[in-house]
Structure 1
Amino acid sequence: MSGYDSNPFASPASDNPFNDPAVTQVTNSNMETVDPFLAHPTDGLAAHTTPASTSPYQPAVLQPSTEPSPQATAAAAQANLLRQQEELEKKAAELDRREHELQGRGPSGKENNWPPLPKFFPIKPCFYQDFSEEIPPEYQRVCKMMYYLWMFNCVTLFLNLLACLAYFTTNASYGVDFGLSILWFILFAPCSFLCWYRPVYKAFKTDSSFSFFFFFFVFFCQVVILIIQSVGIPRWGNSGWIAAFSIIATNKAVGAIMIIVAILFTICAVLSVILLKMVHSMYRRTGASFHKAQQEFSQGVFTNKTFQTVASGAASSAAQGAFQANN
């Protein structure tokens, strides 16, 4: 039956050349399974992929408006003004603090030492004075003599007050002399220090022509006043020679006191003339001149803060007046 079960239509096995055992063995050993997706790997394609070109033109984007409103601008300006005001107040407070720290110190930054007052005294010294430090050696002797002359003049004015008081006790009509003697003591003692001693001290210290000229003018007036005081005109408040001789006949004690004061006034006048000549001779050797004094005065005036404030105020007032007139 096996012969009947075979396919009658099939070709005989011997007719197929591929059924040869030798061919089948060779083809089975040399054939490999090939993956069609591995024949063209995608790694190379990914590495050599060209990116899409970007266009140089970007799409238009609408930006929101950032311009501040008038209210915001006003608020910012007000805040800026407040900030500036706070800064100015801080600076003013700092300046006040430094001023309080420097209070009691002279322009040179050193602590004032004149007049020499006790520490507990409520009034503090007003000036700084040191001959050995501030005055050149060649001027120290004359400057000290001017200082001693000022003190001698103050003592004489005080003794003149006492002599006029004694003069007043002898006769009530001489009360005018006593009152004027008080006035001369209160007026001349500080004014002589400020008006001729300090200028000559500053002149020797800084070689200032303006200080020299100011001293010469005021001190010449001081010499004239001392001569008048030594003469002793009645009712002028001076215990001079005339007033002393007028009372010595009636009251020798009071007359003697007034003669002593007259001698002191005379010594002051003589010493003043001598020192005036000495200072003038030194002034001529310093090379100072009137032209130099004018320059120092103009520079001092133009750099003065008070003068600058007044000048700026006057200029602004004139400008405002001219603007209003034009309108």
Structure 2
Amino acid sequence: MAAPYRELDNPFQDPAVVEHRPSSQYATLDVYNPFDNLGVPPPYHEPSAQPAAPPPAAAPPPAKKLSPTEPKNYGSYGTQESTTAAATADLLRRQEELNRKAEELDRRERELQNAALSGGAVRQNNWPPLPSFCPVKPCFYQDIGVDIPQDFQKTVSIMYYLWLVSAGTLLLNFLACLALFCVNGNEGSAFGMSILWVILFTPCSFVCWYRPLYKAFRSDSSFNFFVFFFIYFVQDVVYVLEAVGIPGWGFSGWVTALSALKQGYTAVSVIMIIVALLLTATATMGIIMLKRIHSIYRRTGASFQKAQEEFAAGVFSNPAVRTAAGNVAAGAAQNAFKP
């Protein structure tokens, strides 16, 4: 009786434990070796004869529908930046055109106002700008912003400043010749000639070539263009002679300045070298502007025949010329009928 009792008390003889003892149908820990480097998992169950089918491919997500308020993407960041830059440049160009048109309208409005004033009263001269207490009154009327078209205002202004520089250079040339005369009494003729150049060239250059240029651009006059080209060519030749500085001619050019430096008049030679530099710059700028104005003249459609027609119309429209021609014709007729 003791043995059966011990078997019943043995927990390893329980049918539930006996059922799960190692057998050929179940894998145990003794069968599985994790260090065999085969990577084969323990056979928990019999492998199936057919390989498992791959899982079905996931369906693509539905396309995102843009809301009406959501902005669309029209390109990359670089494309959008270039488009913005092009739009900004186009706006700036249009703004410049509007500003130019506004200036042109303003100029035309001032022209109409001046024309209205000139219908009832003559425009008062404003050049040279002299004070009111001066007994000498201005001789010319000049307003580049009103009289000259906008495309040619810069050219006329440059020529006006060039005339001012040439006048100031002649005055400085007079001072340099005076200094040379003070240290060398034999230079009296050069000093006298420098006075003549200041008195003669300053007003004559304004009347003879600057005013014809002003009138030519103001009224598109071929005759005034021809007058300007002829006189200003001679003026450029004089500028070159002034820059050379021939001794005894009253010009403090390079030859005179170097001669004074060679004689030991250092201070005087420094002033003369400055004058020579200004004369050289004036001569160079004069040649450049002469070529530039000639190119503008060729684009305006002016011609020598048109200049002749303008000259003839201007001569015959002059009351003094008509009166003189009438008197000459009447005298010729009377002489013809006399026996």
Q: What TM bracket, shorter-length normalisation?
A: 0.5 to 0.7
Q: Give, as a single letter, the amino acid of the residue that structure 2 aligns with 1:301.
A: V
Separation in 2, partners of 1:205, 1:132: 11
Amino acid at match of 2:302: A
Q: Distance in 2 between matches of 1:167 and 1:151?
A: 24
CA distance in 2: counterparts of 1:106 and 1:175, whole angstroms:
54
2:133 to 97, 102, 120: 120
Identity in percent: 56
**Equivalent residues in 2 for 1:305-320, closer than 5 Å:** 305-320=319-334
Give the greater-gyration-radius structure (CA): 1
Contiguous gaps of at least 5 residues in structure 1: 1-104
Q: Secondary structure at the match of 1:248?
A: helix
1:288 aligns with 2:302: yes
Q: Does 1:202 align with 2:215?
A: yes
Q: 1:227 aligns with which of 240, 252, 260?
A: 240
Give the Cα–Cα distance (whole angstroms) in 1 for the partners of residues 210 and 192 of structure 2: 26
- Matching residue of 1:70: none
Secondary structure at 2:160 match in 1: helix
Shift of 1:107: 12
1:279 alignment counterpart: 293
Aligned mate of 1:239, from 252, 267, 270? 252
Structure 2: tracts of 5 or more residues without a match = 1-117
CA distance 1:115–1:106, shift in 2 (3 Å): farther
- CA offset at residue 167 of structure 1? 1.1
Give per-residue Cα distances to partners, 1:144-186, cap 9 Å, x unaligned: 0000000000000000000110111122121101111000000
Q: What amino acid does structure 2 have at the position aligned with 1:210? A: F
Distance 1:196 1:107, change over 3 A: farther
Give me the CA root mean square deviation.
Answer: 1.7
Q: Which of 250, 261, 280 is the matching residue for 1:248?
A: 261
> Which whole-Å CA distance do the structure 2 matches of 1:186 and 1:238 have between them?
14
Over residues 274-299 of structure 1, what are the superposed CA-to-partner deviations in whole Å (9 max), with x where a residue is unaligned? 11111111111111111101100111
- The number of aligned residues is 221
Shift of 1:302: 1.1
Alignment partner, residue 179 of structure 1:
192
Matches within 5 A, 1:21-36: none
Matched, 1:136 2:149: yes
Query: 3-state SS of the aligned residue for 1:278?
Result: helix
From the superposition, tell whether residues 304 and 107 of structure 1 become closer, same or farther in structure 2 (CA, over 3 Å).
farther
With normalisation by structure 1, the TM-score equals 0.65
Aligned to 1:34: none
Q: Which amino acid aligns with 1:199?
A: P
Distance 1:200 1:275 in 2: 12
Q: CA deviation at 1:232?
A: 0.3
Query: 1:107–1:219: structure 2 CA closer, same or farther, 3 Å change rule?
Result: farther
Q: How far off its partner does 1:194 sit?
A: 0.4
Superposition TM-score, scaled by structure 2 size: 0.63
Matching residue's letter, 1:319: A
- Does the alignment pair 1:146 with 2:159? yes
- Counterparts of 2:121 and 2:160, CA distance in 1: 21
Offset of 1:317 from its aligned partner? Answer: 2.3
State the Cα distance separating 1:108 from its structure 2 match.
Answer: 8.5
CA deviation digits over 1:187-246, x for unaligned, max 9? 000000001001101111000000111100000000000000000001111101111111
* TM-superposed deviation, 1:322: 2.7
Post-superposition Cα deviations, 1:57-77, rounded to whole Å, max 9, x if no partner, equal xxxxxxxxxxxxxxxxxxxxx
